[in-house]
Amino acid sequence: MPLPLQLVALNVERSKHLDRVAAFLRSTQADVVCLQELMEPDAALFEEASGGTCFFAPMALHEENGRITSRGVGILSRLPVKSRSLHHYGGSESPQVRFDATTQESKHKTSAYVLALCEVEKEGTVFRIATTHFAWAPGGEADDFQRKDIQKLLAILAQSGELVLCGDFNAPRGGEIFGLLAQKYKDNVPQKYTTSIDGILHRAGPLPFMVDGLFSTPGYTVSHVEMVCGISDHCALIANVASSS
């Protein structure tokens, strides 16, 4: 029986926790790591720490530590990558726009919301892994931007075949947006975890929101899901992924 793939998903909060994240990746040595809020210049550090190569998907230009650079999502793989694809589903048509956090509308217009998807191979089995960083809405309540984007994202996912989807969905479990995903795909995060926000490292302190998701289609079995905090303002999800066929 083929060994399962070990998967990690984590919002790294740009460049704020580089040492913590790098140490975590070195100790974990997961097969595939999906990162959100990844700054492009930091990809090399995380490649070295994880032992993988990075597929970086830019979303916007962002000022960090006095420099303007690309912020996006990334998939690090220690395994051979069979294919990579990028799918736009909302916000700006271009990731080369400087992010404007002034209003909800400006935030949405200056971020290109994308789904990054990789096919990787382990012991002859091909795994399809996808990640995204969904639009934020205040208070964990859905807004019209999220409602429009989720329909486009669901349409893309429906055409993507069997997959495992992880990411920061900025929409809490039990709410409208998370619920739409959970209707279509299996929610693999154990119910004992009631928040994925690190109450110590997050700027807002403890928040009762499970916004980081790990979904799968019937073609995959996701098991041994654990949450690890103390790395970034979001906690990491670690899981084993096996083919159900």
Measure CA 193 to chain center.
Answer: 17
Three-state SS for 88?
strand
Instruction: Provide, rounded to the nearest whole percent, the portion of the chain with pLDDT above 90.
Output: 96
What is the pLDDT at residue 1? 63
Q: What is the pLDDT of residues 23-81, one digit of tens each?
A: 999 999 999 999 999 999 999 999 999 999 999 999 999 988 888 999 999 999 999 99
- The residue type of 89 is Y
**For residues 126-142, average pLDDT:** 96
Q: What is the pLDDT of residues 103-130, one digit of tens each?
A: 999 999 999 999 999 999 999 999 999 9
- Residue 74 near residue 102, CB atoms below 8 Å: no
List domains and CATH numbers for the chain.
5-243 (3.60.10.10)
Three-state SS for 231?
coil
| First-to-last C-alpha distance (Å) of the chain | 11
The model carries a pTM of 0.97
Q: Is the pLDDT of residue 245 over 90?
A: no
d(CA 223, CA 190): 10
Count of CA atoms in the C-beta half-sphere (13 A) of 214: 30
- Residue 154 near residue 121, CB atoms below 8 Å: no
What is the pLDDT at residue 2? 73
Q: What is the pLDDT of residues 143-193, one digit of tens each?
A: 999 999 999 999 999 999 999 999 999 999 999 999 999 999 999 999 999
**For residues 181-206, average pLDDT:** 97
Across the chain, where does the E strand assignment appear? 5-11, 32-39, 53-64, 67-77, 81-91, 112-122, 125-133, 164-168, 186-187, 212-216, 220-228, 236-243
More confident residue, 245 or 195: 195
